[in-house]
Amino acid sequence: MKILVTAKRVPNPEQKLKLAGGQIDLSGASWQVNTFDEYAVETALRLTEKGKGGERAGEVVVVSVGPKDVAQQLRGVLAMGADRAILVGAEDAALDADSVARILKAVVEREKPDLVVLGKQTVDGDSNQVGQILAGLLGWPQATFLASIRAAADGKSATVTREVDAGVEEKRVRLPAVVTVDLRIIGKKAVRNEALAPDGAEWDETQRYASLKGIMAAKKKEIKEVPLAELGVAPAPLLKVKTYEAPPARKAGIKVASVEELASKLHNEAKVI
Amino acid sequence: MGAVVVFCEVSDDGKAVRTSSLPALAAGAELAKHHGGGVVAVVVGNGVGAAAADAAKYAPKVLAFDGAGLAAPLAETWAPQLADAVKRAGATALVATATSTGKDVLPRAAALLGAGMASDVTGVLGAKELRRPAYAGNAVETVEVGGPVVVASVRQSAFPPAVAGAAGAVETVAVAAADALGAEHLGVHGTKSARPELGDAKVVVSGGRGMREGANFKILEELTDLLGGALGASRAAADAGMVPNDLQVGQTGKVVAPNLYIAVAISGAIQHLAGMKGSKVIVAINKDPEAPIFQVADYGLVATWEQAVPALIAEVKKLKA
């Protein structure tokens, strides 16, 4: 199975966001791969494995859209085990979900994967759109917010569970398809390719980290830089961010000394119970 | 500029519009003032006559896309109906609540329309100008949506539910066939509960990693039920398997804004705060006085949940007596 997986770089979400003059100052940001994309990479790798640390079959191609520096994050994904990488050169500010999806569509048409795996959202933009737009543009089925995926032995379909408001939905999609993953996807038995891994195959309950061997191997793997012009896509973002502001601050609260005081405040002061 | 199409989800019994869609109708009405047209509510499914009639209480016009091929909630078949609705209505905007269905279907519809989309909108500033949170709620963006149609998913807690009024007109569009592109809906395994939905609840009681194990949530359930609220959890608690993931409150879970939010044994990671900071009154109970949750809490109590929660239950019972 050939899988295309996305990896966007995002500023470390634990760092305090610097806002000034209606803009976000990312000059001092430390960058990392979007968490949900790390889960997507883990998902893609498991789909090409017989089991944890077992033999592999198929190919995992990671793609990112962004400035040249993203090569650093892509190297990290290659160290996790992805086979090769594609970096489509573009400035973050010139992109929105629609333009990223159009660029990915062009990459999909070149690479012809059986499956595209994305994180359900990035933790900076929080938009949760790219996978769905990509599926719509390609005319492919989609399965979003995956908690699990089982690729059929014949390679023609995948059965998934999805995190939905009412619980967990089970869905089957014909391949090729676009899927986006939620955090449960890194569960021990959440991912399995029936053509490779036996029933009951287990992985660690986390995305894998690069081993020293992986890091060494990654140095020899290809990161192909592809200029936008070569893909024949001219992104024209439809969504423009005009300004960023800090959210309204909550007024400082108080510490109460006892449960009795808490209940009394909630009843008499806040009037919520 | 033209009409505003609002996608309304149908309740489980098929008879009404889901309450989660009412804020989208309100946001749609606000947007319609800037677009100059009216609100056109859209329902999609199989046998949606009753739901369409219910939707008509909130909009002057309803388009009901009805057909056996639309029975299952599939983005593959539903997104084209929304795109079709926009064309039929001559609409310049498409709105839905950012439920799991809205998040799944709306971007796909935007792709079919070649339209730009803003997710999780919390405010309408103009015909194309909207406000939305990003960076786990640590920034509020003012965005301009270009393209022929403004597509927006709206945050349920950010708009009041639309109020029923005079009945509008229903137009039914019989959909003979819908191509699911090889996708099949196999069912939903629900966590059915008698409690209100997290998104609608006036009170939410959430537990975090400090609850240690799922069985300990029983005591939170007791407090939740006493207050007539919904149970929630932090990502850490959901990740640890203490509770089902659909209870997760946060950037990657549900965003809630109840009148009262009680966070028990939750440290207050940024991603959790993103899901509850909009609550009117926040109570934090945590044994660690340095826990970041206290920075957003109106009332903080430094205590273990083992001590505090049973005592709080007793106090609430006294107040209710």
DSSP conformation class of B160: P
Chain B residues lying within 8 Å of A272, measured CB to CB: 203, 259-260, 280-281
Q: Which of A24, A166, A174 sits opposite B188 (nearest CB)?
A: A166
ipTM rounded to 2 decimals: 0.96
What are the φ and ψ backbone dihedral angles of B86, each rounded to 5 degrees?
Answer: -60, -45
Q: How far is CA A154 from the centre of its chain?
A: 26
At residue A68, the pLDDT reads 96
Q: Which of A134, A238, A245 sits opposite B116 (nearest CB)?
A: A238
| Average predicted confidence (pLDDT) for chain B | 96
Residue pair B229/B260 in contact (Cβ under 8 Å)? The answer is yes
CA distances from residue B34 to B2, B64, B119 in whole angstroms, order as listed: 9, 25, 19
Strand partners, B249: B254
Is the pLDDT score of B99 beyond 80? yes
Mutation target among B104, B255, B316 for the A interface, most CBs of A within 10 A: B104
Contact call for A170 and B189, based on CB within 8 A: yes
Contact call for B300 and A172, based on CB within 8 A: no
Is the pLDDT score of B1 beyond 80? no
Give dist(CA A145, CA B162) in Å, integer.
Answer: 29
Mutation target among A132, A168, A242, A244 for the B interface, most CBs of B within 10 A: A132
Please state, for a pLDDT cut of 70, what percent of chain B lies above it. Answer: 99
What are the φ and ψ backbone dihedral angles of A170, each rounded to 5 degrees?
Answer: -105, 135
Please state, for a pLDDT cut of 90, what percent of chain B lies above it. Answer: 93
Residue pair B288/B208 in contact (Cβ under 8 Å)? The answer is no
Is the pLDDT score of B191 beyond 80? no
Which of B163, B144, B147 lies closest to B109, judged by CA?
A: B147
A212-219 and A71-80 helices, crossing angle to 10° = 120
Which of B281, B297, B278 lies closest to B155, judged by CA?
A: B278
Chain A residues lying within 8 Å of B20, measured CB to CB: 165
Q: How confident is the model at residue B200 (pLDDT cuts 50, 70, 90)?
A: confident
Q: How confident is the model at residue B180 (pLDDT cuts 50, 70, 90)?
A: very high
Chain A residues lying within 8 Å of B106, measured CB to CB: 132
Residue pair A218/A79 in contact (Cβ under 8 Å)? The answer is yes
At residue B44, the pLDDT reads 98
CA atoms lying within 13 Å on the CB side of residue B315 = 17
Q: How confident is the model at residue B190 (pLDDT cuts 50, 70, 90)?
A: confident
Q: Which of B108, B134, B197 sits opposite A133 (nearest CB)?
A: B108
Give dist(CA A230, CA A224) in Å, integer.
Answer: 12
CA distances from residue A261 to A76, A251, A252, B220, B293 in whole angstroms, order as listed: 52, 20, 18, 19, 19
Q: How close, in Å, is residue A161 to chain B by CA atoms?
A: 9
At residue A14, the pLDDT reads 87
Residue pair A70/A9 in contact (Cβ under 8 Å)? The answer is yes
Chain B residues lying within 8 Å of A237, measured CB to CB: 116, 146
Low-confidence ranges of chain A (pLDDT < 70): none
Q: How far is CA A180 from the centre of its chain?
A: 7
At residue B252, the pLDDT reads 85
Which of B210, B239, B242 lies closest to B309, judged by CA?
A: B210
Tell me which H or E stretch contains B281: strand B281-286
At residue A92, the pLDDT reads 85
Mutation target among A105, A120, A129 for the B interface, most CBs of B within 10 A: A129
Chain B residues lying within 8 Å of A154, measured CB to CB: none
Three-state secondary structure along chain A?
CEEEEECCEEECCCCCCCEECCEECCCCCCEEECHHHHHHHHHHHHHCECCCCCCECCEEEEEEEECHHHHHHHHHHHHHCCCEEEEEECCHHHCCHHHHHHHHHHHHHHHCCCEEEEECCCCCCCCCCHHHHHHHHHCCCEEEEEEEEEECCCCCEEEEEEEECCEEEEEEEECCEEEEECHHHHCCCCEEECCCCCCCCCCCCCCCCCCHHHHHHHHCCCEEEEEHHHHCCCCCCCEEEEEEECCCCCCCCEEECCHHHHHHHHHHHCCCC
DSSP assignment string, B32-88: HHHHSS-EEEEEEESS-HHHHHHHTTT-SEEEEEE-GGGSS--HHHHHHHHHHHHHH
Contact call for A165 and B137, based on CB within 8 A: no
Tell me which H or E stretch contains B187: strand B183-190
Contact call for B146 and A163, based on CB within 8 A: no
At residue B245, the pLDDT reads 86
